[in-house]
Chains A and B, each alone.
Chain A
Amino acid sequence: MSQLPPQTSSLFPVDLSYAHDIVDGDVELLQEIVDLFILDYPFQLAALQQAITAQDAADIQAKAHRLKCSFGNIGGWEAYKLAYELELMGMRGELGHAAPYFQELVVGVEAILAFLAQPGWVELAQDWQKGEPQQ
């Protein structure tokens, strides 16, 4: 594991191709999952921050694991990898770099939200459904 967190990329924070495979090309379901994510992530992120503040390794592992699942379900790989690193830190009880990783995770989540706030992202997903990605 690196000492410093990797810098997140804001260009493609969501892998629509993978997200498409997860929902079997069902764009309506993808939209629903994204809506659920937007409702759910603030609570998960706050819980992880609380665990890091408390330096509770087991709780960091559990909360990062849960966030990792959410990012995976929408194809948010950059954030997924950061959540996984935090999960591993919790598992090992090595929490020295948890705070900077968490800050980078927040940046990653902001990139996902900015992407999903674009009015055209659903159409982009529909292009994937037709096999004609317009990225």
Chain B
Amino acid sequence: MTRQHRILAIDDDPLTLRIVERVLQRHGYEVHTALNGHDGLEMARVLKPDLVILDIMMPGLDGFQVCRKLREDPETAVITVLMLTARGAIDKPASDPVDFAQRVRDQLKGYRVGASDFLTKPVKAAVLVERVQSLIWSGGR
């Protein structure tokens, strides 16, 4: 029997965490959750997940800082990271040029600190599942 893939979701929004948890559990994943970056880093060291789903804008440690710390720690350095962002608005992504530019800068910064991919919240379940499957199959490459 193949091992159940393990996912750790880190987000300060409990609604998003619950959606990610339940949707991915229904697709056969083992899902753990953390409401802040500090707890998430501890859990990542212990759980060694196949994938971390990481919110960018969080109080305390933000997603960039968490991702950088994951990469610096040999125990967690190779874990694939999918970043979630709610920057911008779903129905008008380019309506505000300053905000859109910040979104692009966020993505570039995310890649620099070691993220493999990005999704914009709120995420439709089908999109989340497809992206997670793709990242796990490819090992984040």
**Contact surface of A with B, Cβ cutoff 8 Å:** 1, 18, 21-24, 26, 29, 32-33, 36-37, 40, 62, 65-66, 68-70, 72-74, 77, 80-81, 84, 88, 91-92
Contacts and interface: CB of A to CB of B under 8 A. Distances in A.
B96 interface: yes
Contacts of A37: 15
Interface of B: 12-16, 18-19, 22-23, 26, 57, 59, 86, 89-91, 96, 98-99, 102, 121-126, 129
B15 A40 contact: yes
Nearest to A75: B122
Given A72-B90, A80-B89, A22 B122 contact: yes
A25 B90 CA distance: 20
A88 B96 contact: yes
A66 B89 contact: no
Nearest to B125: A24
Contact of B13 (A23, A69, A92): A69
Given A18-B122, A22-B123, A88-B99, 18 more contacts: A22-B19, A22-B125, A24-B126, A24-B129, A33-B18, A36-B14, A40-B14, A62-B57, A62-B59, A66-B12, A68-B89, A69-B86, A70-B13, A72-B86, A73-B15, A73-B19, A81-B89, A88-B96
